[in-house]
């Protein structure tokens, strides 16, 4: 099967994830959208691995997953901290660096 449908699917998922980041104020949803974008990228990796007939793409996808796990741990900790101090999980409320 041609890789093109997989890549189009990856593109769609990626942009939908991007839209989630842009549109949702809830930090958790935005964060999940980021995970969706990572998954879309992984799909592209795996597709290309198969297309080229080697496993490097799969390895890369594997590392992306591990890094995503680490990122989620730290990111969720940060969200919990922000929620504790500001009583809000909205990313718009965390705009203190602006005057």
Write out the binding residues for another protein, residues 44-73 only, by CB under 8 A.
46-47, 49-56, 58-59, 61-63, 65-73
Please report whether residue 42 would count as binding another protein according to CB under 8 A: yes
Structure tokens at 20: 């989630």
Please report whether residue 91 would count as binding another protein according to CB under 8 A: yes
Q: Contact 43/58 with Cβ under 8 angstroms?
A: no
Shortest Cβ 68–another protein spacing (Å): 7
Structure tokens at 88: 């809000």
β-pair partners for 26: 90
Shortest Cβ 79–another protein spacing (Å): 7
């Amino acid at each position: 099967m041609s890789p093109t449908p997989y890549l189009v699917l990856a593109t769609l998922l990626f942009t939908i994830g991007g839209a989630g980041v842009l549109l949702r104020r809830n930090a958790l949803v935005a964060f999940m959208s980021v995970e969706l974008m990572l998954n879309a990228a992984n799909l592209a990796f795996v597709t290309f691995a198969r297309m080229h007939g080697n496993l490097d793409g799969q390895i890369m996808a594997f590392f992306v997953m591990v890094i995503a796990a680490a990122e989620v741990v730290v990111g969720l900790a940060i969200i919990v901290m922000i929620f504790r101090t500001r009583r809000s999980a909205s990313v718009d409320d965390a705009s203190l660096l602006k005057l």
